Structure 1
Amino acid sequence: MIEPFRTSTGSAVLDDLRARLRATRWPDAPEDAGWSQGADVAYLRELAAYWADGFDWPAQEAALNRLPRYRTTLGGHRVHFVHARANAPAATALPLILSHGWPDSFWRYTKVISLLTDPGAHGGDPADAFDVVVPDMPGYGYSDRPAGTPPDTIAVAGLWAELMRRLGYERFGAAGGDIGSGVSRYLALDHPGRVVAVHRMDAGLPVFLGDRADLAPEERDFLDGAAGWAAAEGAYAAMHRTKPQTAAVGLNDSPAGLAAWIVEKLRAWSDCGGDVERAFTRDEILTNVTIYWLTGTIGPAMRMYRVNGAIPPAQHARRVEVPSGFSLFPADLVRPPRPWLDRIANTVRVSEHARGGHFAPFEQPQVYAEELREFFRPYRSRSMSRP
């Protein structure tokens, strides 16, 4: 059963949030530390003050409720998703499922939904319209928190294949970034007869099981660079993979702590030149963080790293044969070279963009939407009409 879904946050819940923010026991910080040792405490104090006394969550919630939102149960998990129909004849609309990552939710794609469903209204070709499906993974956003071990990316791909079938789409496109890149990859690997093409913002941190001597020089440089990034910036992921419950206790209890954990990544992974509010407004930042706070999903979201860490190595070595496209944004975590992308997938398109980072659908929605329109254009005839 598919049911319409909307939220309405009670005043007592918001009063509790504001009280916690005002009562935050802030840590000291080395003089002039800024963001060099993690979250900038001075910036977070300003953000928390605005969250408590200026941020209008009911207005943001109303905007989210204007999206066509639904819930259904898949594999024992009650899943929240957006299902936005194209402003186009049924026979021309390409079904497209977009998969998010961490630290976000369906929020990642809220700016591109209308650009994809109604390109004619935004300077594009109406023939490039999509039926857009944006689910929250179990344990993220408004999908329920799993009672036990959360599903890994392979299992989530299976849930999304079932979701698309339940919506009447036998053939569809898939796209994603971060963990959603892996979900989209497994959709293409495990359901190749249904996925017409797959677009990924990134290839994730690389896993290579072969002999490095077989790699091109730029591939070896890429692996070395990715390892360096993981050593310098990957402590969060090590915590998520190994001891997520330790961090979850504090992050689920302190909104300021939760903001520190998330906003530091929004800044570090976006194309903002060190100023996070060049990439996101305060209201946009706090909408993302408030979704985590209200749903209590920081713990299960982190635990997904643990189950993904247990995926057998052989799964990482599989090559995607479905036509694949990649978008490389200058401030993303890693930028794989073309030989690597050809190694891991049947790569038919690689686009390098002048601006944008890890959250490109939110940072550069026009660029991202146009990239999806162009990439999927040759594959539209391979999809089935929407129901």
Structure 2
Amino acid sequence: MDRLVNPAAHGHTDADAFDLVIPALPGFGFGGKPRERGWGISRIAAAFHTLMTQELGYQRYGVQGGDWGGIISAKMASAYPGHVIGAHLNFLFVQPPPDPTDEDRQRIAERDAFQANETGYSLTQGTKPDSLTLAQSDSPAGLAAWVIEKFHTWGDVGDDIEKTFSKDVLLTNLMFYWAPNSIASAARIYYEARRDPAGFVYPKVEVPTGVAVFPREPWRVPRRWAEQRFNIVRWTEMPRGGHFAALEQPGLLAGDIITFFRGLRAR
């Protein structure tokens, strides 16, 4: 955050500074627990747009995100192109092209293998979340095992997770679930997203889009796939980093965000 609000202290210029609005996703951490059904991608995107335009008064703004933040940012860029000046993403949810090349088929095989072996969490949280989250709400060890396994599998950690994520960082992340007892409400986004097809299927994102591709991101996609769904104007292959880019490589991510939006500020 400091790299973006105070870029001159990190090798950029004052003109590159941002106003940052970083909302918690409904259900996550201290972001409140929705008491009604329907808080999927489309509703969250609409709520964040209302926050930006009606509550905070930003008629033009940029979006950035990874994981669910990337999915919601992409939805906002598609739904509100008159307000979103550009989208910077380090996570893309796109399908392969209808005419796959041999290289595409290799990527599809890798994707399918990952889906088969590593996405049971998503299926459980998307279908029967409370069968799992009641136990996690009762067991700190169970919660830690569930969450930290993802840091190990999705992060660029090598053989030692603590070289990338210290115990303090991991425990702080866990406390955002444990202290407000939000693991159940956070998991529910998977359930709601499966019932919100418009959250994934929408018109092509025509606003300028920048993509930071981190090598250990499990959901990496080729640029050719992304260009079916996004107006790609910047594509950066990063030298290191994984799914948790803002935690793993904050300098690389912030630098790419700054460079991408620098050319859009006058719009």
Question: One fold, TM greater than 0.5?
Answer: yes
Which structure: larger Rg? Answer: 1
State the alpha-carbon separation in 2 of the partners of residues 229 and 248 from structure 1: 23
Within the candidate set 119, 124, 134, 1:249 is matched to 134
3-state SS of the aligned residue for 2:265?
A: helix
- CA drift of 1:141 comes to 1.2
State the alpha-carbon separation in 2 of the partners of residues 195 and 341 from structure 1: 19
Match of 1:304 in 2: 189
- CA drift of 1:303 comes to 1.2
Match of 2:12 in 1: 124
Match of 2:238 in 1: 353
Match of 1:278 in 2: 163
Match of 1:173 in 2: 62
Normalising by structure 2, report the TM-score. Answer: 0.95
Q: Is the 8 A contact 1:198 1:325 kept in 2?
A: yes
Q: Is the 8 A contact 1:207 1:317 kept in 2?
A: no
Between the two proteins, the alignment pairs up a number of residues equal to: 266
Q: Is the 8 A contact 1:207 1:316 kept in 2?
A: no
Match of 1:236 in 2: 121
Within the candidate set 236, 254, 258, 2:143 is matched to 258
- CA drift of 1:310 comes to 1.9
Identity of aligned residues (%): 38
Higher deviation after alignment, 238-247 or 145-154? 145-154
Within the candidate set 362, 376, 386, 2:261 is matched to 376
- CA drift of 1:335 comes to 1.7
Within the candidate set 320, 344, 348, 2:229 is matched to 344
3-state SS of the aligned residue for 1:296?
A: coil
3-state SS of the aligned residue for 2:218?
A: coil
Match of 1:158 in 2: 46
1:21-60 matches, cutoff 5 A: none
- CA drift of 1:149 comes to 2.1
Q: What is the CA deviation profile of residues 201-241 of structure 1, one whole-angstrom value per residue up to 9, with x for unaligned ones?
A: 0113x446x7x3x2344333333322211101001111111
3-state SS of the aligned residue for 2:239?
A: coil
3-state SS of the aligned residue for 2:211?
A: strand
State the alpha-carbon separation in 2 of the partners of residues 217 and 193 from structure 1: 38
3-state SS of the aligned residue for 1:134?
A: coil
State the alpha-carbon separation in 1 of the partners of residues 191 and 103 from structure 2: 30
Aligned-CA RMSD value: 1.6
**Counterpart residue type for residue 343 of structure 1:** Q
In structure 2, the CA distance between the partners of 1:168 and 1:353, relative to structure 1 (3 Å rule), is same
State the alpha-carbon separation in 1 of the partners of residues 199 and 5 from structure 2: 37
Within the candidate set 13, 28, 32, 1:144 is matched to 32
State the alpha-carbon separation in 2 of the partners of residues 314 and 266 from structure 1: 26
State the alpha-carbon separation in 2 of the partners of residues 249 and 298 from structure 1: 9
State the alpha-carbon separation in 2 of the partners of residues 362 and 241 from structure 1: 26
1:319-334 matches, cutoff 5 A: 319-334=204-219
State the alpha-carbon separation in 1 of the partners of residues 140 and 241 from structure 2: 28
State the alpha-carbon separation in 2 of the partners of residues 289 and 360 from structure 1: 18
Match of 1:103 in 2: none
In structure 2, the CA distance between the partners of 1:138 and 1:313, relative to structure 1 (3 Å rule), is closer
